[in-house]
Amino acid sequence: MRELPGLNHLFQTAETGAVAEYYQIEETMARLALETIAQWLAERGFARKRRR
């Protein structure tokens, strides 16, 4: 398990994590969360090669 500081349970950057804050958040998913998940998948052989 890994903690991602400053993110709520939806992997969005959040100040408090309160439900009332959801309406103010504009991002779908924080870059930190995406990069962490991508790295975890790559370490387990699930990475796809990027097309250029």
Cα distances (Å, whole numbers) of residue 13 to 38, 47, 51: 18, 25, 29
Please give the model's pTM, rounded to 2 decimal places: 0.77
> How many whole angstroms separate alpha carbon 25 and alpha carbon 14?
7
Q: What is the dihedral of CA 43, 45, 51, 52, to 10 degrees?
A: 40
Structure token digits, residue 50: 């990027």
For 16-47, the pLDDT digits (tens) are 989 999 999 999 999 999 999 999 999 999 87
On the question of pLDDT at 8 being above 70, the answer is: yes
Collapsed DSSP state (helix, strand, coil) of residue 13:
strand
